[in-house]
Amino acid sequence: MNQPTIVVEEYIQAIYALAAHGKMVKAVHLSDKLGSSPSTVHSTLSRMQRDDLILFDEKKNILLSDKGSRLANQLARRHRLVETFLCDHLGIPWQEVHQHAHILEHGLTPLIEEKLYLFLGSPKFCPHGTPFPGEDSALPEKMITLDQVQAGQRFKVILIDESLEDNKELMRYFWEHQIKPQAIHQLSNINIITQSLQLSSPEGETHIPFEVAPKIGVLLL
């Protein structure tokens, strides 16, 4: 097969990201996520099936084939490498590297990927804390999610779930309030009225909506 096109790579990434949350992936989810018409999605998926990157089950759910999974892992690794490079070496803001990496990652050859990995000192996590493929065990065993923290407890932020990285406003808010790996906060109040968790740190107060809390990994101190 020829090299996959950028469009195909983006579909693979979208399927991988949706499936990572235990979701059954259907064509309609891809058209929502990628902003493509149903007919475009349909014809791209047909090509991907022909090239043995995806399969359909009897309920029309889309599954990655072994070959598709290998490509997805490779793309995830490239994405996290480029994010790390942009953040640590080019000074691109932490909350923006995701968008830039999405463009740059498609241009990496295997040699650049390998050299970049060594140049960066064999990183295990992207700047938002997501482990590289195969490095899941690098996350602390005792990591819990923010919704499991009780009022009064102090914790260190470990992971901002990758699904939140697309939300630019939220990422900027996280950055401004230091909701990022290694930052330390205390859960000062659980506010049922505003449906949010109030955090405090020396830098000030932060409010995290209940719905976002399960997507933030933390370690109790």
Q: How many residues bind Zn ion (CB under 5 A)?
A: 5
**CA separation, residue 107 to residues 41, 112, 115, 156 (Å):** 23, 9, 14, 35
The least CB distance from residue 132 to Zn ion, in Å, is 10
Q: In Å, what is the CA distance from 9 to each residue of 22, 43, 59?
A: 20, 15, 24
The answer to the question of residue 159 lying near Zn ion (CB under 5 A) is no
Q: Does 177 bind Zn ion (CB under 5 A)?
A: no
Query: What would the DSSP string read from start to end of 169-194?
Result: HHHHHHHHTT-STT-EEEEEEEETTT
Q: Which of residues 83-102 bind Zn ion (CB under 5 A)?
A: 83, 98
Based on CB atoms, which residue is closest to Zn ion, 108 or 126? 126
105 belongs to the binding site for Zn ion (CB under 5 A): no
What sign for the dihedral angle of Cα 127, 130, 135, 136? positive
- Stretch 17-46: interaction string toward Zn ion, x if CB under 5 A: ------------------------------
> For residues 155 and 174, which CB has a smaller minimum distance to Zn ion in the complex?
174
Asked if 165 interacts with Zn ion (CB under 5 A), we say yes
Give the strand pairing for 144-145 and 204-209. Answer: unpaired
- Contacts with Zn ion, 113-132, as mask; x by CB under 5 A: -------------x-x----
